[in-house]
Structure 1
């Protein structure tokens, strides 16, 4: 098996990282496909910067129980939530293992919980840490962990699900979004019985951690997905993990994340799902199958994904010597439609073509214009040139854009001018 070369190395780095970082591409271009993919999946660092200060669960509970303190709680969650958004955005900008952050972002969109929906930024921080810990681990373990995660219990009303008044919100979403991926695979009766099984899962008011309250659990017999028994929440999740459709749902999401925006090809996703299930839901095994598949490397799929705001903004600043004003990064992501910890619904961000609307496209273009402004002084800009690779213009184009530019290139000389033209070209919006 031959070496990747510049174009394929760029494709792998841009799809699995945050930005097509030149140093990583140079390292990967001399590796085989299997070695480069293996390095991508094994190179992780779970070290995090110090999180922002957030209020304790007990303080939030006190505000929740007092009508007069509701406004204070709203203000607190908004301010602390903004600090948490800045914390994660800045970590994505500086992390040494961007693939781990990309997968943490992927799973946070699969299992979304929001600032507005929880009003508990401290719980969202701990959820973010938990998702990162499991991002390249075992999907079954992550599903179990997120189902008992305080932020999720608040967001989908799981903590108020009791035997005398079952709440179906979490049961509905765990079926529709986290596992089965469509209502054709289960019935309303399955939702009702799953909700009964999850009763009693709550949050300890003293610690803010998960607690099982047996006195609030429905101990009656339930019928779920063709099985009958005195099921609890763990039993429901295990039944769902045994169903082939759960692995297919995740495989289909991987198609949208790594291949292109078209409808997933079942010939590939079913094969990946089978590999995923037989590995007992090992995420690295699934990712290896995806990233070494011929469809991932097919030239037609290079440039087949639209960059998310995170990829566009953070990826550009990781790739090129551009910077925003301090603490302005998370705000710009919000303007472009990807406000961290603030997905529009439990379905998360739709991604793909939804990133491109008339309004968001103007803001994306405006950000790129602002980032590249002031870098047109040709070879006399030592700061810019110090961070640019020594390569030909052809290599520079192959590095920055995956497809041919749509606009004419500048006729005036100057590396900064050429880079700016490429960054502002529509071809730069895809990966």
Structure 2
């Protein structure tokens, strides 16, 4: 697959042209996991600023996923028998994975962001191994996803999931553990080697001591023990005092605002706009600098930065569309949303399992640096897996209800064409729906047309606007062959390079 060089030279100035389908679909592919024909149609004609503000307000005001019944369980709540306890734990994890995947599918920007932050403030369920910790970790991601980044950094570091994952629970005053201090700077706020020293890590670790009270039962929320805290003086980022956890966060944001803003805005840019933000990547560094200025001016509130970016000419530039390789979750959730096909919890479990096989295990990124995204999703094995799995989903949807394939086509062409006899109208609409920029060449489109025009339908049955003298006996809304034609077209398109992009 071609590697996309970032040639986008547009600015952060507002994009004021009313949105067409092409750019509305781009917005929803990036801000959520795509959207149905109906949602895109409702967005057409709106200004980017108004639609983005609406999606941001929705995200800001959205309540976290309700707590499951087991949110505050510790080990004493599970059966004494280890096998039974294991079954209960696995059932709880399955329940929560389904719930969160359903959120990803339906919650647009809020869940796109919580998913992004789960790959920034990384923890691994396999390491901390407690369902209660998982719930409170995800709750923290959701509550802070589009809130204040400084608050986010402070709160995430005291979740039990993070304290266990990065050894904070073993960070005693008389024997500091430097693991969390290192990742706080290197991965969570500043970037590797950017504005801190090894001595800063050593001194910061001392200030973070004391969050070591783990209880005696197991799977209990971690508490602060003042007797295990190093109360002596520390020098952190040039500031000396008897610093504690809160002081570390204060000093970090007071002394390194530019470094924090630059690092976080670059990650946001590479995730939402283009994976290439290098110095020679179009206008990327100028855009990131502008975002960083907005971040600092708004006291590290996330929403103003995203509002500026998502409504900008840079975001809607043609060079920004169709240049990010879909993650596994992107492939399957976007397919469900774009087709509007019926799904159930079993479908979502299949999404979770298939994504895991293709390198994206929910709540278990590969390591503390997270999934590295984009080109790392593509290798020989993964590519074949992406093709075959997409076909399995389409076959499953077809077996469940063939007529929903006709409905997709009728929705895609629009009401005025819902009874068209022109196959080109149908193929164009579906290609445009499930690929960000259509197919690359006219021959690629002709190949798609050939797949759609199955032998069961004589050529002259297509309408006169497509074939002079055609009888128009084939009609989208009634011809019995339509569901299988749409199914075969989607099977073909799922193997095209353009399907892998967003």
**Residue 250 of structure 2 corresponds to residue 233 of structure 1:** no
Q: Is the 8 A contact 1:333 1:339 kept in 2?
A: yes
Shift of 1:86: 3.2
The residue correspondences of 1:414-425 to structure 2 (distance < 5 A) are 414-425=485-496
Distance 2:213 2:264 in 1: 28
**Residue 382 of structure 2 corresponds to residue 360 of structure 1:** yes
Distance 2:271 2:223 in 1: 34
Shift of 1:73: 8.0
1:118-137 deviations in whole A, cap 9, x for unaligned?
01121111110121011111
Q: Which runs of 5+ in 1 are unaligned?
A: none
Partner of 1:113: 123
Label 1:266 to 1:299 Cα distance change in 2 as closer, same or farther (>3 A).
Answer: same
**Residue 68 of structure 2 corresponds to residue 56 of structure 1:** no
The residue correspondences of 1:69-80 to structure 2 (distance < 5 A) are 80=92
- Give the secondary-structure state (helix, strand or coil) at the position aligned to 1:228: strand
Shift of 1:397: 2.4
Shift of 1:360: 1.4
Distance 2:126 2:85 in 1: 11
**Residue 36 of structure 2 corresponds to residue 21 of structure 1:** yes
Label 1:301 to 1:352 Cα distance change in 2 as closer, same or farther (>3 A).
Answer: same
The residue correspondences of 1:152-301 to structure 2 (distance < 5 A) are 152-203=162-213, 205=215, 208-242=220-254, 243=256, 244-264=258-278, 265-301=284-320
Shift of 1:84: 3.1
Distance 1:79 1:381 in 2: 32
Partner of 1:384: 405
Equivalent of 1:372, from 394, 404, 408? Answer: 394
Label 1:374 to 1:150 Cα distance change in 2 as closer, same or farther (>3 A).
Answer: closer
Partner of 1:315: 334
- Give the secondary-structure state (helix, strand or coil) at the position aligned to 2:240: strand
Shift of 1:286: 1.1
**Residue 151 of structure 2 corresponds to residue 141 of structure 1:** yes
Q: Is the 8 A contact 2:64 2:142 kept in 1?
A: no
Which moves more between the two structures, 353-362 or 171-180?
353-362
Q: Is the 8 A contact 1:322 1:372 kept in 2?
A: no
Shift of 1:192: 0.3
Q: Please give the root-mean-square deviation of Cα atoms over the aligned residues, in Å.
A: 2.8
Shift of 1:25: 1.0
Distance 1:322 1:409 in 2: 25
Distance 2:79 2:243 in 1: 34
Distance 2:176 2:64 in 1: 40
Label 1:121 to 1:315 Cα distance change in 2 as closer, same or farther (>3 A).
Answer: same
Distance 2:97 2:180 in 1: 25
Shift of 1:410: 3.2
Shift of 1:421: 2.6
Which moves more between the two structures, 343-352 or 50-59?
50-59
TM-score (norm 1): 0.90
**Residue 449 of structure 2 corresponds to residue 427 of structure 1:** no
Q: Is the 8 A contact 1:4 1:31 kept in 2?
A: yes
Q: Is the 8 A contact 2:342 2:397 kept in 1?
A: no
1:231-275 deviations in whole A, cap 9, x for unaligned?
111111112222111111110111111111213532111211111
Q: Is the 8 A contact 2:309 2:315 kept in 1?
A: yes
Partner of 1:399: 433
Which moves more between the two structures, 306-315 or 405-414?
405-414
Partner of 1:302: 321
Q: Is the 8 A contact 1:409 1:421 kept in 2?
A: yes
Distance 1:190 1:76 in 2: 43
- Give the secondary-structure state (helix, strand or coil) at the position aligned to 2:436: coil
Label 1:421 to 1:275 Cα distance change in 2 as closer, same or farther (>3 A).
Answer: same
Equivalent of 1:342, from 361, 364, 371? Answer: 364
